[in-house]
Structure 1
Amino acid sequence: MPGNNSRFTWKIMMFSSFNGKQHSSHEFTVGPRKWNLVMYPRGDGIGEGNSFSFYLNASDYMTNGPKTKTMAIYKLRIYDQLKRNHYEIKDEHLFLDDSTVGQPLLLPLEELNNISRGFLVDDEIYLGVEFFRISNN
């Protein structure tokens, strides 16, 4: 189990000002790895132009020893700031070296921008990941 550092929340202010294709959170450590979240505000791949795309990226290992595979069971989350009806997707993945996994079609842009859904409030959005289990193979 990852212990007390099993959640990471990324607060993004002035969301509408993001002009580039992708944006990444700063790195954080859970288990033996460094991670970061990656978002594509206007979609990526098959979601480009119609969906919010959201990914978990496994960065370099923390240790200097031999690199091993890391199994992670986690949940990616877009926080509903009004009703706490968060949009979540639970997944598991065997991370090899540095890899990125996620959803190019996570949430339609129409839903993301719908004020009543509470994902974007005062041009701020909260994204997160929660790890349920991490183990090295």
Structure 2
Amino acid sequence: MGNESNKKFTWVIKNFSSLQAEKIYSDEFVIGGCKWHLKAFPKGNNSSNHLSLYLVVADAKHLSFGWKRHAKLSLTVVNQISEKLSLLIEIKEFWLDEKIPDWGLARVIDIGKLKSKNGGFLVNGEVKIVVEVDVLEVIGELDVPEATPADWVDVNGFQVLRSQAKSVKRIFERHPDMALEFRAKNQHFRTTCMNLLLNLINTLCQSLQDLSIDDLGQAEDTLTYLKKLGFEVDWLEHKLEEVKEKKIEEEIGEIRMQELEKELKDIEALMEKNKEELKDLEKKCLDTKALLKKEKAKVLAARAPPLTLDDVV
């Protein structure tokens, strides 16, 4: 789950110690009119004992030909006991393009230090990452053009972009009581919460191949957060459970497929071995037939007409 504000985005990684995926992604966020993700390697990328973090251009494959982004960023691994002990890493200016769609560090913080019981970086199973992105130049179109007052519309008390209005209206048409218990008055916070809801729905609309169990775990955390705020989202919880069940079925099926593929290879190898053995047996059979033929000839020769008296005397 994550929250964005101006040039900063905060990513709270839940259940960090139990993550099994090689890499995980944050929710999508927008800074400088560009869509981004954070990518993390909990067990390290080319460095087995350090957390790796990268800023990633979202949907890079779908951007117009020749796009480029010039930026600089800072990464902070937040110490949740003492802010003064937080680890801040500033990265100098860099360019991103089709060939290099992400930028970051393979060695951010030692895993042992990160997981230290009283170190303050891992608290209640959570690791908190703050990224600040300064977009210096964009070649190509912005993902999200700078919004003007005319770009915003009110839907059931939520200020949303016109591009989101149709989706939000459809949600309220089907679930009119969804936000009756949501009491927040701050319009920016209300918009942020609606964006969380829309991002969650977008996550569930992805293909199973593009989702991991950890992604769905983070979606579940987002859903829990929205429920605590007063959103009535039981309908979404049911859909999330359906997607989780399908994902688990897919993973079990993939494991079973791998087992069957191995079994099939073993059978084919055994058949090939039996073919070779059969060839040897066929050759042995032919050799034996040839020997039998010779022996028959000898026997027939031995059975020539018996000797006569003249032959004997």
Q: What band does the TM-score fall into relative to the shorter chain?
A: 0.7 to 0.9
Amino acid at match of 2:15: M
Aligned to 1:135: 137
> Is the contact made by 2:32 and 2:135 (CA closer than 8 Å) also made in structure 1?
no
Alignment partner of 1:38: what SS?
A: strand
> Is the contact made by 2:69 and 2:135 (CA closer than 8 Å) also made in structure 1?
no
The two structures, once aligned, show a CA RMSD in angstroms of: 2.1
Q: Distance in 2 between matches of 1:21 and 1:65?
A: 30
Q: Distance in 2 between matches of 1:86 and 1:69?
A: 32
Q: Per-residue deviation at 1:75?
A: 0.3
> Is the contact made by 2:78 and 2:128 (CA closer than 8 Å) also made in structure 1?
yes
Structure with the higher helix share, 1 or 2: 2
Aligned to 1:10: 11
Identity %: 28
Q: How does 1:35-114 map to 2 (within 5 A)?
A: 35-45=36-46, 47-48=47-48, 50-60=49-59, 67-84=66-83, 85-91=85-91, 92-97=93-98, 99-114=101-116
**Considering only CA atoms, is the larger Rg found in Structure 1 or Structure 2?**
2
4+ runs deviating over 6 angstroms: none
Q: Per-residue deviation at 1:38?
A: 0.7
Gaps of 5+ in 2: 140-313
Q: Distance in 1 between matches of 2:113 and 2:64?
A: 45
> Is the contact made by 1:33 and 1:60 (CA closer than 8 Å) also made in structure 2?
no
Aligned to 1:117: 119
> RCO higher in 1 or 2 (8 Å CA, sep ≥ 6)?
1
Aligned residues: 131
Q: Distance in 1 between matches of 2:101 and 2:135?
A: 17
> Is the contact made by 1:76 and 1:130 (CA closer than 8 Å) also made in structure 2?
yes
TM-score normalised by structure 1 residue count: 0.84
Gaps of 5+ in 1: none
Aligned to 2:21: 20
